[in-house]
Amino acid sequence: MSILINRKAVDYRRKNNQSGFTIIEMLVVALMVGILSAIAAPTWLMFANRQKVRTVNDRVYNAIQEAQSQAQLTSLGRSLEFGEHQGIPAYRIYLTSGGRPDDDNAGWQTLDVNGEINEGQITLQVIPPKKDSRKHLEFDHRGVVQNELREKGPDDPDDQFFWVVVSSADNTVTHCVSVITRLVSTQKLEGEDCPDE
């Protein structure tokens, strides 16, 4: 039994076969993608900001531990300074006996990991104890914090805290590290537990 195929009919069907999407179908898909993006984008940005602030805060905590450890291991006083280097939160550790480096650009290490923080995305603020004018931490040869309060004694227990506050540029996410200068106790906090100054 043989089947006859009409080649002209097959060719005609191939020529008139219109595959693909209509403009309306493409517009509906684009509209759905736009709506989903509008819903997901703010949540993603908030998540990304929270992660960046948490990363910088963890690095602040590690920098304090590193400076204290260097002072103890070398039996030489170390100073730890926080600031910004090229618009990105940074820190530097130097010998207390040598004094602050003359070159303002010397020794800075950024607090971001793999360069994912752009200039102005994260703010870093140092709040020293109320009666101590220094905006850096000094560790003696044993790793004990040296400050003006040690000689005077604080009137208020809150005068013992040295704060490093890390926040997103829009201040929606805030984390901080507190150092109790009398006990050299370091603690990571977030949100309302951080000072507003």
Q: Contact at 8 Å (CB) between 119 and 86?
A: yes
The predicted pLDDT at position 2 comes to 60
Which amino acid, one-letter code, is at 19?
Answer: S
All structural domains of the chain, each given as residue ranges with its CATH number in brackets, are: 22-193 (3.55.40.10)
Q: What is the dihedral of CA 73, 76, 80, 81, to 10 degrees?
A: -150
Contact between 192 and 150 under an 8 Å Cβ cutoff? The reply is no
pLDDT at position 66 is 92
Q: What is the CA radius of gyration of the chain?
A: 30
Mean pLDDT computed over 160-180: 85
pLDDT band at 32 (very low <50, low <70, confident <90, very high): very high
pTM: 0.73
Whether the per-residue pLDDT at 72 is higher than 70: the answer is yes
Overall average pLDDT of the 34-41 stretch: 88
Give the mean pLDDT of the chain.
80
As given in the structure block, the two tokens for residue 116 are: 């994912």
| Whether pLDDT at 11 is above 90 | no
Q: Is the pLDDT of residue 194 over 50?
A: yes
64/112: higher pLDDT: 64
At residue 181, the pLDDT reads 66
pLDDT higher than 80, residue 183: no
